[in-house]
Amino acid sequence: MIHKIKYPIILILITQIVFSQNILKSIVKDENTGFPLTGVNIFIKPIDTGGTTDTTGFAKILNIPDGTFTIIFSYIGYSSYELQLSFPLQNPNEVIAILLTPVTLKLTGITVTITRTNNRIEDSPVRVEVLGREEVDEEIAIRPGNISKLLGETSGIQIQQTSATSGNVSFRLQGLPGKYTQLLKDGFPIYSGFSSGLSLLQIPPLDLEQVEVIKGSSSSLYGGDAIAGIVNLVSKTPNKSPEWTVLLNQTHKGGRDIGTYYSKRNDKVGIALLASMSEQKAFDVNNDNFTDIPQFNQFTFNPKIFFYFNNGTSLIGNIMSSFENREGGDIIAIEKTSDSLHTFIENNKTNRLTSQLKFEKKFPLGNVLTLKNSMNYYKRDFSKNSFNINGTQLSSYSEFSYLMQKALHNTVVGLSFITDNFKQDNNRYGSVMDNSFFTAGVFIQDDWNINNKYTLQTGVRADYHNEYGFFILPRISVLYKLSNRFYIRTGGGFGYKTPTIFIDEVVSKSYDVVLPIPLTVKSESSQSETIDINYNTVIFNDISFTINQAFYYTQLFHAVIPESDSLSNGILVYENASGLIVTKGYDTNVHITRDELGLFVDYSFTHAQKDYDSNKSNLELTPAHKLNITFTFEEEDSWRTGIEAFYTGRQYLIDRSQTRDYWTFGIMVEKIFRHLSVIGNVENVFDVRQTKFEDVVIPPYDNPTFRELWAPLDGIVANIALKIQL
């Protein structure tokens, strides 16, 4: 009886198994070309089965049980695609078509905000270079107190130290001095004039999402100060999943950083909070009793609140406060053991308070109304021996813009209004640096997607400055896509800058030998052209290769320069140059990645020439050759390491002598745990310093002068950091 029952049960079970086995038929093609893809991997989770496509892009996978599964399609050089299916299928004979998107530029998918049209980087007619969140996170652990290291990693940007005592730095684009580059935070130009002096050393990067860079005259976008280009620091925005990062850092030369960032949002309200504290002990690297690394204490507090009224309307507000006390000079005097020979101290006390408010309304057809306002209070007290100067800057930026999106056009129109008032409290020459000005501007920009190959961007800006009059600034750029892997961009524009004494030369002279700008001095203006060619591909089926080749040419008219006679008399008096300053050159960026390995090579050639000089000499402190090489290895969610090499070519000094060239090297290792990362880093491994080649401090030591700075002063610096992420 048992045998009679057993055989029918086995037969039923076999029948059920046979009939519960399903088949998946699919065909996989390139999304852009429609060509079939051979060898695409298909994996079904969690049953660990799959297959690959044949030469026609077709694949058939058998013996799939009933149930709901995630199917993953992956192929070298393409973005992976996930599909969830329930078996049995409603139509078992259906052939499911899958389109895979080619992996193009490393930054594909990143939206850039600096051009106001919020387009993807590969679709922008204007060349925008971006340091994404991954690169930002890597650099934060190396120097979490400020953004100088972060910007120094960007191709074509030269970080230049301008003061041997305060450690002040500026950054150059296309070989031009720092005063010609406009620094923005979330599209707000709040770091200019008197407040620009120590800005790079007072902006902690812990809340940054990405850094956007446009090289070349860009005043048509945001007004003056953008002759060399624009750098926009883009902050993170909160997500519904909370983010909390705590970073602790210690260097072997007495530097310490503590920072935290927290953000979270719900349907209606979001918050973000940045708090950062940095301190550094006075450090004399070369034992000449003068600081090569100044002593400072710095604190930043930046709360931000987000209101989401509905899916298309938001209001963002924040107040950032920053306080710093910085001392450099004779280290014996700083340590309070001074005598009649050791008295020189340079002290900077700065307070910054900035508010930002942004209202955005998105309409059903894609149009966007944006209102922005920022107010900036900046107070700086500078003293050196018996000399003292302090002053207060009050500045504001307001903007109205309206983005209209139609079938082939993205057009933005807007108005802006900028004020800047500086009041000097005291000065040995009297109140000669006081200023009060406003700039009113109107702008329009249009991105015309002519077809799938051509995009044309045209724009014009008209500014009125209450002291220097009207400026008309047209701009045009063209993007031509030969394919999704090869495109060319070219464009040009005009720029201007109104004269100011708050520039690098003033910092190096410590303010005490500077006379006001003469009324006869004109505003500076420029025009520039750029072209770049980008190609990316996959070689040997698993190596991603990208190359970008960019060329630029800029002419600067009426450059405001120190009078040569005044320099010989030990003071600074400004005039307009009698001829042009011309910068031209090219950037070559090569990125090669294979699985966990990455190689990044950036080479910049710059020829900056003073045509007004009878000898047509080169612009000072502008290396013709710069080379950055970075090699990385990363095992995801486990550890990563990077080795960096930086070459800086010879530079000309004011006396037309040339410096030597030099290499610096760095190495970083990060071990990643679930919520904790441990980072070890060594910068300038071989301790390259200008003080190894010459004395920077020139006696007498109670009232010294300093040589032009063209190489590092701090030498080798090792640090260890702990990053906690919850």
Mean pLDDT of 217-242: 88
The count of C-alpha atoms lying within 13 angstroms of the C-alpha of 411, restricted to the half-sphere facing its C-beta, is: 9
pLDDT at 718: 96
Q: pLDDT category, 107, cuts 50, 70, 90?
A: very low
Are 477 and 483 in contact by the 8 Å Cβ rule? The answer is no
Residues 74 and 166 both lie in one domain: no
3-state secondary structure of 468: coil
pLDDT tens-digit profile of 269-283?
999 999 999 999 999
Greater model confidence, 98 or 133: 98
Cα–Cα dist 367/360, whole Å: 11
Length reported for the chain: 726
Cα–Cα dist 445/457, whole Å: 7
Q: What are phi and psi of 573, to 5 degrees?
A: -125, 135
Nearest alpha carbon to residue 622 among 708, 688, 531: 708
Q: Residue 78: is its pLDDT beyond 80?
A: no
Q: pLDDT category, 483, cuts 50, 70, 90?
A: confident
Residues 402 and 378 both lie in one domain: yes
First to last CA, the chain: 65
For residue 113, being part of any structural domain is answered with no
Residues 348 and 219 both lie in one domain: no
Residues 263 and 199 both lie in one domain: no
Among residues 208, 230, 252, the one where a domain terminates is: 230
For residue 146, being part of any structural domain is answered with yes
Q: Which strands sit side by side in the sheet containing 22-30, from one edge to the other? A: 58-64, 22-30, 95-100
For residue 114, being part of any structural domain is answered with no
3-state secondary structure of 719: strand
For residue 92, being part of any structural domain is answered with yes
Q: Residue 7: is its pLDDT beyond 60?
A: no
The count of C-alpha atoms lying within 13 angstroms of the C-alpha of 52, restricted to the half-sphere facing its C-beta, is: 9
Q: How far is CA 476 from CA 489, 494, 584, in A?
A: 11, 10, 19
3-state secondary structure of 599: strand
pLDDT tens-digit profile of 681-701?
999 999 999 999 999 999 988
What is the CA angle 414-416-422, rounded to 5? Answer: 170
Residues 238 and 223 both lie in one domain: no
User: Is pTM, for the whole model, over 0.85?
Assistant: no
Q: Residue 111: is its pLDDT beyond 90?
A: no
Please give the helix or strand (H or E) that residue 118 lies within, else none.
Answer: none
Among residues 230, 264, 286, the one where a domain terminates is: 230
Residues 140 and 218 both lie in one domain: yes
Amino acid at 218: S
Nearest alpha carbon to residue 212 among 124, 144, 305: 124
Cα–Cα dist 380/562, whole Å: 24
Residues 564 and 423 both lie in one domain: yes
Positive or negative CA dihedral for 185, 183, 145, 634? Answer: positive
Q: How far is CA 603 from CA 288, 331, 589, 621, in A?
A: 35, 38, 7, 18
Residue range(s) defining the domain that contains residue 673: 231-725
Query: How far, in whole angstroms, is CA 244 from its chain's centroid?
Result: 22
Neighbours of 139 (CB within 10 A): 22
Cα–Cα dist 691/357, whole Å: 46
pLDDT tens-digit profile of 182-204?
899 999 988 887 777 777 778 88
Helix, strand, coil percentages (3-state) for the chain, rounded to 5, are: 10, 55, 35
Are 185 and 208 in contact by the 8 Å Cβ rule? The answer is no
pLDDT at 12: 42
Among residues 230, 249, 282, the one where a domain terminates is: 230
